[in-house]
Structure 1
């Protein structure tokens, strides 16, 4: 017997309809590619998304055709997002920082019919368009520009297209498991792989990240998603923002520390989200500008382990709560968020602070386990000490990659994340390392993450990475790659001495290499693969 309740499919179009109806005058602030600012609101975003849905319909596209976006976080991109998914098409967000060969592969693999791009990326699009046989329409996400036409005569302009259309559009009531959006993994090994989200998974994920025990989003907030919309859909925040009706500040291409500090202070941002490299730049800029970041109550750190020293600085200097979170493209992305439980407030401040270093616990909708092997079957103890392969299952977790016939799960139905981690009895997750980044020295494991967290705590170090370097006797030994702070005179001996009372002697890196620039990928993550290729033989060479 079924319950006597209405059934309505969980659709992305419901989110923008809700925001328009109940939060229409809530501000959406957008920095454009030329640096100018646009202030709009949820009502105007919704109306323009309907206009653009009419544009897409006029192209004769079929249900679930792919529409690619290569764009920064801005209001036009947000409008296009809702138009694409809401009309039954698939919004394929693409990382513009990938190599042209990877972009060509991704667009052709997805069979994108339309490519929408910010003016910033015109040279890139012109250089690859001849290699994109499936693309029927190219749209510049801007107003008419004769200079663009000169180099790309067949291009269409977003503002011109929507100006010709009505804002009357009835969102189709598609099936909730219909695909809504497509993101490709970063492709550090082999070609990138597509992860295809559904309307249902996206709406459920939006509920989960809005909860107080998760990212704690509400209509009171002004959110700054520094994480790009092409990076796992800006961690789902543009969807959750419409769900709760909060204000959004979209930073465009200006992601440097000074620009972000100015946006936070001018628009009274309460909650910001980004990777650790972004926050390092923000903290430096706030110090240099004398800003107290008064409005900023929370910042979410994901994409890589957050250095403990960063949590300390945000808390003690800026009274800002740093929320450590974990996830990946295949998990939509949120799999764990670090919020304390009631019992933890009985702990000392130091004990609470130590708990903040973990990646947190899973919200309702996902389950985590630690397994003895990648293919699962044997679950290890949740004692906070026993490390194993981190695996996940839930309502917004991948089961297979786009266009691939093979199952992406273990034999008993879990997704193996590639991380080595521990779980405690409350479900708090501590990532020990990526399985490929663990250092096996003389049969013993050394965590690169632990070594990095110690090094980044030194006041004269800006960024670090620890890699496994090949060793004639011990197979592998840790080597620290570090970028000094400006004007620092720190030496290799200083760094090695800094480790002496913080970790076992045999785990201290064998060598410190100072570099001027760290290799950073398209999503702001540090590229250890490049460092391993460059420095992996340094101990053998010595």
Structure 2
């Protein structure tokens, strides 16, 4: 089950003495034991039951020979047992390796081999594409343990550019959770995979604050969200934009029951943010982060002003703990700070190659008040025209959904012999016929000649990655 674990530059630093998130979770699970903590499918666990199962899962790993510093790969879906498995790996002081759901079997095996793990844990109910210890067979005895002070997390990148890279974060990066421990509990619904950044963040926030954590299915479904929001009296949730759009378009979209709605993972169309605020009130905020660099910036719900359209487009001001710069003419966004990864597994750490700075792959700019605006992903910029001008596809996507009859839009580059690349649109409509000539004219009038689309494809839905982002790589592949 993978090669022996090797020590690296990522495992050579000293513990600084802070309290880890595992300590905070155990503190919470040790109080008010009969209160519900974790709900998923037909499973409902109280705090006492969750604490007991956490120790049993850690014991199951230890009985099978897993030791501090070992890598443990997990290939699991959204279940209470899986949430506690992730905690158990860190409780033992191990390196938790999240395995992405997108690649095929041979690619998964190559990724696990690259991660140099000592064990693989799988949930056959989630997928049978790789072999390993079955999660359901893992629990041992309820042996209580003190949390290890040092561990690491290896997270896969978003999966839109081929086989994911493995971003390494250490236990030091979890110190930000301590500021959350005194926040009031809520009823929180997790919509994304718990092996992805937003799902990890949601589940940890819930456990640390003592909230009731409700797990949505491993593949998002708007019908299920609507039902769970109603039945479990959900008051807090986090979306990636396509999920939010599906819920807003749902005929039974919940009313203003939420205290907090976060949106992240990719930029949110301003018109949709306005729609969400009008539906749920001033509780919707945008967060900017990624697998490699969490908590870069946030636009609090209280700062969004419907009478100031620019506040609907910004991702907010940088986290005070983070340095954020735009560079290199086109506005490449670079970040440095405690929530930036140490580097990619198998490659030199960032502190050795770039003094800790990381290029996010986003392009953006700041306004005079210090708010950050994301213009596009660098790989999604369309370079077209005789002078090779940049078309920012995100700007075009946001404009297109303001036009009548268009519900979702994705602009991508189509190869062209004369111009290098031209703009091609993939549109999801609301059922009425959309006149391409009118769309083209509207784009030119609003954004200029360089943005004019040269073709359009009407699709029933846009392809998404497993974590809910629009998969523009798959759309571009249509033209290869």
Q: Is the shorter-chain TM-score for this pair beyond 0.5, marking a shared fold?
A: yes
- Look up the match of 2:134: 139
Q: How far apart, CA to CA, are the structure 2 residues paired with 1:445 and 1:410?
A: 29
**CA separation of 1:15 and 1:117: change in aligned 2, threshold 3 A:** same
The residue that corresponds to 2:36 in the other structure is 27
* CA distance in 2 between partners of 1:435 and 1:24 (Å): 49
1:276 aligns with 2:235: no
1:192 aligns with 2:164: yes
The 3-state SS of whatever aligns with 2:380 is coil
Change (3 A) 1:302 1:252: same
Q: Which moved more, 1:58-67 or 1:313-322?
A: 313-322
Q: Secondary structure at the match of 2:126?
A: helix
Gapped regions of structure 1 (runs ≥ 5): 1-6, 130-136, 142-156, 212-216, 374-386, 537-542
Contact map agreement 1:324 1:357 (CA 8 A) in 2: no
Q: How does 1:201-212 map to 2 (within 5 A)?
A: 201-204=173-176, 206-207=177-178, 210=180
- Compared with structure 1, are the counterparts of its residues 339 and 519 closer, same or farther at alpha carbon in structure 2 (3 Å cutoff)? same
1:437 aligns with: 380
Distance in 2, Cα, partners of 1:309 & 1:295: 21
Cα distance in 1 for partners of 2:18, 2:354 equals 31
Shift of 1:500: 4.9
Q: Is residue 374 of structure 2 the alignment partner of residue 365 of structure 1? A: no
User: Which segments of 5 or more consecutive residues in structure 2 lack a partner in the other structure?
Assistant: 1-15
Match of 1:490 in 2: 434
Q: 1:476 aligns with which of 413, 421, 430?
A: 421
Q: Structure 1, residues 416-458: CA drift from partner, whole Å, max 9, x if none?
A: 1111111234432111111121122323222100000011233
The alpha-carbon deviation at position 262 of structure 1 amounts to 0.8
| 5, 10, 35: which one aligns with 2:19 | 10
Helix, strand or coil for the counterpart of 2:307? helix
Asked whether the equivalents of residues 53 and 169 of structure 1 are also in contact (C-alpha less than 8 Å), the reply is no
Which structure has the greater CA radius of gyration?
A: 1
Contact 1:465 1:480 in 2 (8 A): yes
Give the aligned partner of residue 283 of structure 2.
321
The verdict on how the C-alpha distance between 1:408 and 1:186 changes in structure 2, with shifts beyond 3 A counting, is farther
The aligned residue for residue 149 of structure 1 is: none
Give the length in aligned residue pairs. Answer: 463
Aligned residue number for residue 144 of structure 2: 169
1:295 partnered with 2:252: no
1:131-181 deviation digits (Å, cap 9, x = unpaired): xxxxxx51133xxxxxxxxxxxxxxx24xx34xx12x4122443xxx3332
Answer yes or no: is 1:263 the counterpart of 2:228: yes
**RMSD across aligned positions (CA):** 2.6
Matched, 1:419 2:362: yes
Within a 5 Å distance, the mapping from 1:346-357 to structure 2 comes to 349-351=306-308, 353-357=309-313
Task: Write the deviation string for residues 72-98 of structure 1: whole angstroms up to 9, x where unpaired.
Answer: 222111111111101111222222232
Report what 2:52 is aligned to. 47
In the alignment, the residues of structure 2 paired with residue 30 and residue 422 of structure 1 have an alpha-carbon distance, to the nearest angstrom, of 41
Structure 2: distance between partners of 1:64 and 1:304: 33
1:22: how far off?
4.0
